Amino acid sequence: MLSRLLAPTTGAPTTLVPTIRAAALDAEAARPNAYPPNCPVVTARHGTATVVAFDAAKEAYALETATHERVTVASDDVVTATVQDLYVYPIKSCKGLRLASSAVLPIGLRCDRQWMFIDAKGTFLSQRKHPSMALIAPEVDVTAAEALTLTAPGMPPLCVPVLRSGVEHRVRVWKDYMQGVDQGDAAAQWAATFLNVPGVRLVRFKDGCHRPCEDAFAPDHATAFADGYPILIACQASIDALGAAAKHPVEMARFRPNIVMTGTPAFADDVWDCFEIGSVRFQNVKPCSRCSMPSVNPATGEKDDAGAALQSALLASRNGAQLAFLNKRANDVFLARTLSRSTARRSRLATVSKC
């Protein structure tokens, strides 16, 4: 199982600045950055392979290739896994912000899913029923978050001062109830006009509110307005493989991850366990089950043929029965992994950065 995801230098600082830093998988072996046994890797000469063992003295890997051939390669032949992109989604189910670095809080990346639109009953709105939400592009300074600017095609930008107290609503995300602070009539009217949803309100996750994650998977962890867990990680190679199967280009934005990895085989995150990026330790919580939202084209806010082909490809190769995930239901499909910040490092405020 994957143990760590570390910067290649030892003694990484608690807070990483947004500079170019490579990250490598590590199993706390004698030499830093050694990939652990059973970890899928990409090699320069043999393509995708699985680690059998690492010889620290010789700095060489014993690998099993995709054709089940046993080979030994120098450590330099194994491609380094790196963080390709970082995203936060300030408003649940709306467009994301691409970042160079992000602070990691116990409830997720700073400013991620801190706001959401609710209906008159307090239930969250999402692209599942309102695909045009994909076109709402919030802008916010994630380091201060004193104001949120709403933008969308055909709408005037609206600057919404962040209200941390005031009118509160009892709001619902799936089966969970929590408190949200209303962000004012101007934001509500703007959203109602664009989405054509009477009674919609914009709320912010109330400071100090505690929404625990499911005990079966992430005991003693919490999140804000995310579906269930603080962070989502995905591998670029997985999206590329799905695009090839669907015979359509697939945008990573359809899957809305926070952390995008490159330099890994497709679906390598299926076997990762605990790992680190820089100085931040993460726990791989569970596979992410996917709903109909990847069917929505993030550029048009409409479901399209590429999305339908993508759903078919997921059902054909990534269903619960094939992967033996969770309850093994054949009509559940999975891509990417949900994460929590490990309690071992929870006391530290740290950042992750693009490599």
Residue 353 has pLDDT above 60, yes or no: no
- The answer to whether 286 touches 338, Cβ cutoff 8 Å, is yes
The torsion angles phi and psi of 146, rounded to 5 degrees, stand at -95, -15
How high is the pLDDT of residue 196? 96
Global confidence as pTM = 0.86
**What is the DSSP code string of 87-138?**
EE-SBTTS--EEESEEEEETTEETTTT-EEEE-TTSBBP-TTT-GGGGG---
pLDDT in tens, 238-270: 999 999 999 998 999 999 999 999 999 999 988
Q: Is the pLDDT of residue 20 over 50?
A: no
Section 321-340 average pLDDT: 85
Q: In the predicted model, what is the mean pLDDT of the chain? A: 85
CATH numbers and ranges of domains, the chain: 39-78 (2.30.30), 110-205 (no CATH), 221-353 (no CATH)
pLDDT at 354: 60
